[in-house]
Amino acid sequence: MKHAQKTLTVRTPEGISFPLPIATPISRFLALAVDLAVIYGAMTMLTVVLALFGLISTDLAGAFWLLASFLLALGYPIVMEWFWRGQTLGKRLLRLQVMDEQGLRLQFSQIVIRNLLRAVDGLPLFYLFGGVSAFLSMRGQRLGDLAANTIVVFHPKIPELDFDEIRPAKYNSFRDHPHLVARLRQGVTPAETGIILQALLRRDRIAPEARPALFVRLRAHLERKVRFPPEVVEGLSDEQYVRNALDALLK
Amino acid sequence: MSGFRCQGRGGPQAAGLIGQTPDTCSMIINIQKFVENGKPAWEELEALLARRERGPEKRLSLEEIRRFHYLYDRVSSDLAKVATFASEKETRRYLETLVARAYGQIHEIRETPHRFRPARWFFVVFPRTFRRHLRAFALASAVTAAGCLFGAAAMALDPDSKDVLLPSADHIMRDPADRVADEERVLTDRLNGRKTQGAAFYMTHNSRVAVATLALGVTWGIGTLVALFANGVMVGAITLDYARAGQTDFLVGWLLPHGSVEIPAILLAGQAGFVLASALIGWGRNISLRARMRQVSRDLVTLIFGVVVLLVWAGIVEAYLSQYHKPAIPYSLKIVFGCVELALVIVFLAWSGRLAGRSARLVGEVTTPPANPGAPP
- Return the pLDDT at B71: 93
CB contact under 8 Å between A63 and B100, yes or no, is no
CA distance A68 to chain B (A): 10
Tell me which H or E stretch contains A95.
Answer: none
CB contact under 8 Å between B11 and A181, yes or no, is yes
- Return the pLDDT at B9: 34
Q: How far is CA A206 from the centre of its chain?
A: 21
CA distance A64 to A182: 74
Contacts of B14 in chain A (CB under 8 A): 179, 182-183, 185-186
Which of B87, B193, B201 is nearest residue A58 as measured by Cβ atoms? B193
Beta bridge partners of B27: B6
- Return the pLDDT at B194: 85
Which of B13, B87, B113 is nearest residue A197 as measured by Cβ atoms? B87
**In this complex, is the C-beta atom of B332 within 8 Å of any C-beta atom belonging to chain A?**
no
CA distance B126 to B112: 19
Mutation choice for A interface testing from B20, B103, B201 by most A CBs within 10 A: B103
CB crowding B105-114: b at 16 or more within 10 Å, else e: bbbbeeeeee
Beta bridge partners of B348: none
CA distance B244 to chain A (A): 36
ipTM > 0.85, yes or no: no
- % pLDDT > 90, chain A: 38
Which of B29, B91, B216 is nearest residue A161 as measured by Cβ atoms? B91
Angle at B299 between CA A29 and CA A98, to 5 degrees: 25
CA distance A190 to B87: 6
Backbone angles phi, psi at B283, to 5 degrees: -55, 130
Sign for the CA dihedral angle at B216, B218, B219, B220 comes to: positive
CA distance B9 to A182: 8
Mutation choice for B interface testing from A8, A22, A58, A59 by most B CBs within 10 A: A59
- Return the pLDDT at B99: 86
Q: Which carries the bigger pLDDT value, residue A20 or residue A44?
A: A44
Residues 6+ apart with CB under 8 A from B247: B176, B177, B180
Question: Which of these, A133, A166, A140, lies nearest to A243 by C-alpha position?
Answer: A166
Residues 6+ apart with CB under 8 A from B306: B122, B126, B129, B130, B268
CB contact under 8 Å between A59 and B76, yes or no, is no
Beta bridge partners of A96: A154
- Return the pLDDT at B128: 96
- Return the pLDDT at A168: 55
Backbone angles phi, psi at A72, to 5 degrees: -65, -50
Instruction: Give the residue extent of every domain in chain B.
Output: 4-106, 118-365
**In this complex, is the C-beta atom of B295 within 8 Å of any C-beta atom belonging to chain A?**
no
Q: Between the ranges A68-77, A198-207, B20-29, where is the mean pLDDT highest? A: A68-77
Contacts of B91 in chain A (CB under 8 A): 161
- Return the pLDDT at A1: 40
- Return the pLDDT at B311: 97
Asked if residue A20 lies in contact with residue A153, where contact means CB atoms within 8 angstroms, the answer is yes
Q: Mean pLDDT, 10 residues at a time, over chain B (377 residues)?
A: 34 32 40 80 89 73 89 87 66 82 76 76 96 97 97 92 82 85 81 88 96 95 96 95 93 95 98 96 85 92 97 96 88 95 97 75 46 36
CB contact under 8 Å between A70 and B208, yes or no, is yes
Distances (CA, A) of B136 to A209, B141, B204, B212: 70, 9, 25, 17
CA distance B29 to A174: 18
Which residues of chain B from 62 to 121 reach within 8 Å of chain A, CB to CB?
73, 76, 79-80, 84-91, 93-94, 96-97, 99-100, 103-105, 107-108, 110, 113
| Residue in A with minimal Cα distance to B12 | A182
Residues 6+ apart with CB under 8 A from B134: none
Supply the mean pLDDT for chain A: 86
Mean predicted confidence (pLDDT) in A110-130: 91
CA distance B82 to B39: 13
- Return the pLDDT at B30: 66
The count of CB pairs under 8 A between chains A and B is: 183
Residues 6+ apart with CB under 8 A from B113: A107, A108, B56, B57
- Look up residue B278 and give its amino acid: S
- Return the pLDDT at B52: 79
Is the peptide bond prior to A190 cis by the omega test (within 30 degrees of 0)?
no
CB crowding B357-369: b at 16 or more within 10 Å, else e: eeeeeeeeeeeee
Is residue A209 classed exposed, middle or buried when 0-12, 13-18 and 19+ CB atoms within 10 A define those classes? exposed
Angle at A166 between CA A164 and CA A170, to 5 degrees: 75
- Return the pLDDT at B85: 61
Chain segment A150-178, per-residue pLDDT in tens: 999 987 766 555 555 555 556 788 888 88
CB contact under 8 Å between A12 and B99, yes or no, is yes
Tell me which H or E stretch contains A208.
Answer: none
CA distance B90 to B96: 10
Distances (CA, A) of A100 to A103, A108, B100, B101, B141: 5, 11, 11, 11, 34
